[in-house]
Amino acid sequence: MNSLRRKYLMRSPSWPTLAISFITCLIFFGIYAGRVSKHEIVRGYIEPEGGLMAVQASAQGTVDELNVKVGDVVSKGQQLAIVSTQKYLPNGMSLHSRVLRELVADCDLLEKQLQDEQAANSRLVALSSVRREQLLSQLSSIESRTTSLQGVVKLQGAALERSRELLTEGFISRPATERAELDAATASDVYQAALQEKARLKGEYSALLVSEELRIQSYEQRQTSLRSTLSQRHREIVTAEAGQSFVLKAPEGGTVTKVQAAPGATVDAGSVLISLSPLRAQYQAVILIPSRSMAFVKAGMPVYISYDAFPYQKFGMQKGELSEISGSVISAQNEVGPVRLLESSYKATVVMRGPLPMAYGEAVSIRPDMLIQANIVRDNRTIFEWIFDPIRAVAHRVNSL
């Protein structure tokens, strides 16, 4: 019997047993070490850090010339377009001539107001200076007087005390002591009156200084406002005198990324005609995160960018990091860059960390407003954690009861 048992224990396990054991170990290892991630896929686009430079129309008009196209590299001050502002009134008079006459009249009025303000301020400064000198003189005089009266009060007080002592000793009469008391009281009253006058003069002098300061501030504010308005009118005159058109120039060197008007198109004041990307600009991804996903997304999460122009199945993805999320929601149907929102979303930026995808041995060339898809890695846990976290959560709730 013992020999049979030893023979059984020494017998090698069968291949099916080994296979089942190996597969079981793999399953347990996969559950413990395997990881599962949750992802949020959102839309977005590429823009330079700091955004695009917008070249806007300064007035309403019609595009006469367009000197650039998308992809052109321009230098600072280069002419981009010419916009005509020629308009006529029903009586046939040029609107520019009428506007110019009104602007010149406004400038004349503003200059006269500036001169009147300056003349009035000069008069007030002179009057205030005279009054200040008067008050300083009166204060100096009353200061000397109060010092003198203070000495008189002390002397009269000492004389009164001496009279009382002499009255007690019987050397002088009662009327003499009463005269001394009257003299001391009179000197004290005169001294108190002088102190009150000194306080009044000091108060008037302080009020004058405050009044001067407030007047100077008010005068400077009015002067600044008038000069600002006059400067604006001069700029408007320069624009009007430039003729019936104005030239749009590049504010800085850059690459033309968007042209939003064609020759003959009517443009409004402030409308963007041309967008420029700064030279040697660093690019970032702008993504639009739906409101329903905001509770699970935060700065610092890894993001994988795929470009619509370069399918990720063939060209791969670029790694980035979610750096900043806007605190204001953008409602649906609005356009953010080249993307039209289908639901309310938050704007966020992604800093590129990894290399660009490769196309035929070279890094792909990206441009502003290229459409992208961003894969945000929201959560990354092991399978073991995914399985047992709900159990631990329930246990925690039970323990907390």
What pLDDT is recorded for position 9? 47
Do 157 and 180 meet the contact criterion of CB atoms below 8 Å apart? no
What domains can you pick out in the chain, each with its CATH number?
36-50+279-393 (2.40.30.170), 53-93+243-274 (2.40.50.100), 106-240 (1.10.287)
Buried-state track 384-400, b at ≥16 Cβ within 10 A, e below 16: eeeeeeeeeeeeeeeee
pLDDT tens readout for residues 75-95: 888 988 988 776 655 555 556
Helix/strand/coil for 13: coil
**pTM higher than the cut 0.85:** no
Residue 379 has pLDDT above 70, yes or no: no
Report residue 93 as tokens. 């008079």
pLDDT tens readout for residues 254-300: 888 888 888 888 888 888 888 888 887 788 889 899 988 888 888 88
What pLDDT is recorded for position 1? 47
What pLDDT is recorded for position 389? 61
pLDDT tens readout for residues 3-36: 545 544 445 556 676 677 767 776 666 555 555 5
- Over pLDDT 70: what percentage of the chain? 82
Residue with tokens 């990206």: 366
Report residue 339 as tokens. 């993307």
The CA angle 147-148-149, to the nearest 5 degrees, is 95
Interatomic CA distance for residues 339 and 335, integer angstroms: 6
The contacts of residue 359 (CB under 8 Å, 6+ apart) are: 310, 315
Residue with tokens 């009327």: 175
Q: What is the mean pLDDT of the chain?
A: 81
196 confidence band (pLDDT: 50, 70, 90): very high
Report residue 367 as tokens. 């441009």
Interatomic CA distance for residues 290 and 284, integer angstroms: 19
Interatomic CA distance for residues 174 and 171, integer angstroms: 10
